[in-house]
């Protein structure tokens, strides 16, 4: 499959992608693509390879084999899981949100008045009015997630990757974050979100990729999240041997 031309309406395309850590593959033989302007969920049980795949799309992990192709010139915003963030870093909410400007201004670049306005508008848009100077280590989990979404807003990226943004946040915050995600998609951005709540995924995400170290199903959410596919994903995951050698493509059913 490698060598085929990249479709310009495609934002991200994986072709027989295998990726992992050291010599251990965490995601095997994945071929799928995300259209420009699509909204997709990435689901699977713990350890099924979701974060690994998101990090690969973000360019933080290199494929062991196959390809992960991003449309040339695509700007990208990646929000890791909260557990990967260092909350003890001495920063205020507006410092955290201003980091979203670095690709446009450089890390040490001076912020203009319009940048400060953009940061203030983003903080307001996520419902954190009055929190500008709050240290980030004093925020609740939901408030921190709102601040991180404000940073993504400021980044103004065409491709947005969110790893478990709804983890440990309340219903109201989830509703507000989902509204922002729909707004991004409405603006023509491509959004890929790792999520665990399958009811939320069914209600809010048109497309889904179900992973169990290898792709189980990909496409319209209601066609993917069938009880058969979910059972197949659980079975495959339970049978997975982390120490097995790298499997060749034709060993996958
Ligand atoms: N930095 C790492 N070094 C070695 N192995 C890793 C590393 N990160 C993840 N793994 C392994 O890769 C596999 C897939 O992990 P990954 O974090 O991608 O799964 P996940 O679906 O995102 O899980 P969760 O839902 O728990 O966040 C797991 O077996 C995990 O232990």
Whether the per-residue pLDDT at 241 is higher than 70: the answer is no
Which segments of the chain does DSSP mark as H helices, in order?
50-57, 93-98, 102-105, 113-125, 141-155, 171-186, 198-204, 221-224, 227-238
Query: Which of 17, 19, 21 maximizes ligand 1 atoms within 8 Å of its Cβ, making it the mutation to test the pocket?
Result: 21
Query: Which of 25, 45, 48 maximizes ligand 1 atoms within 8 Å of its Cβ, making it the mutation to test the pocket?
Result: 48
The winner for highest mean pLDDT among 18-27, 52-61, 108-117 is 52-61
Please tell me whether residue 166 adopts helix, strand or coil conformation: coil
* E strands in 22-108: 24-35, 39-43, 65-70, 76-79
Would you state the pLDDT for residue 106? 62
Q: Mind listing the pLDDT tens digit for each residue in 50-107?
A: 999 999 999 999 999 999 999 999 999 999 997 777 777 778 999 999 998 877 766 5
Q: How far is the CA of 51 from the centre of ligand 1 (A)?
A: 7
Whether the per-residue pLDDT at 20 is higher than 60: the answer is yes
Which residue has the CA at smallest separation from atom 5 of ligand 1?
Answer: 21
Whether the per-residue pLDDT at 244 is higher than 70: the answer is no
Domains of the chain plus CATH, in order, are: 1-74+161-170+188-253 (3.40.50.300), 80-157 (no CATH)
Distance CA(68)–CA(253), nearest Å, equals 22
Question: Around 139, how many Cα atoms within 13 Å sit in the side-chain half-sphere?
Answer: 28
Whether the per-residue pLDDT at 133 is higher than 60: the answer is yes
Q: In what order do the strands lie in the sheet with 207-211?
A: 76-79, 159-163, 190-194, 39-43, 207-211, 215-220
Distance CA(215)–CA(212), nearest Å, equals 6
Distance CA(12)–CA(74), nearest Å, equals 10
Which residue has the CA at smallest separation from atom 1 of ligand 1?
Answer: 21
Six-digit token pair at 164? 């478990």
């Amino acid at each position: 499959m490698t060598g085929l031309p990249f479709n310009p309406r495609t934002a991200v395309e994986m072709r027989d992608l295998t990726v992992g850590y050291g010599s251990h593959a965490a995601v095997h033989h994945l071929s799928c693509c995300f259209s420009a302007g699509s909204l997709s969920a990435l689901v699977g049980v713990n350890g099924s390879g979701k974060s690994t795949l998101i990090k690969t799309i973000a360019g933080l992990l290199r494929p062991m084999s196959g390809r992960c192709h991003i449309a040339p010139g695509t700007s990208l915003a990646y929000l890791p899981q909260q557990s990967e963030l260092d909350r003890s870093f001495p920063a205020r909410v507006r410092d955290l949100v201003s980091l979203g400007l670095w690709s446009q201004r450089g890390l040490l670049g001076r912020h203009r008045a319009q940048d400060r306005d953009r940061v203030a508008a983003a903080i307001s848009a996520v419902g954190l009015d009055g929190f500008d100077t709050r240290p980030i280590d004093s925020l609740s989990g939901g408030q921190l997630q709102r601040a991180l979404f404000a940073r993504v807003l400021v980044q103004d990226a065409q491709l947005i990757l969110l790893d478990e943004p709804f983890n440990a946040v309340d219903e109201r915050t989830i509703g507000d974050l989902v509204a922002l995600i729909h707004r991004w998609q409405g603006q023509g951005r491509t959004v890929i979100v790792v999520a665990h709540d399958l009811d939320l995924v069914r209600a809010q995400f048109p497309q889904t990729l179900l992973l169990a170290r290898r792709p189980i199903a990909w496409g319209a959410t209601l066609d993917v999240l069938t009880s058969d596919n979910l059972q197949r994903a659980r079975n495959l995951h339970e049978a997975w041997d982390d120490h097995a050698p790298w499997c060749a493509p034709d060993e996958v059913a």
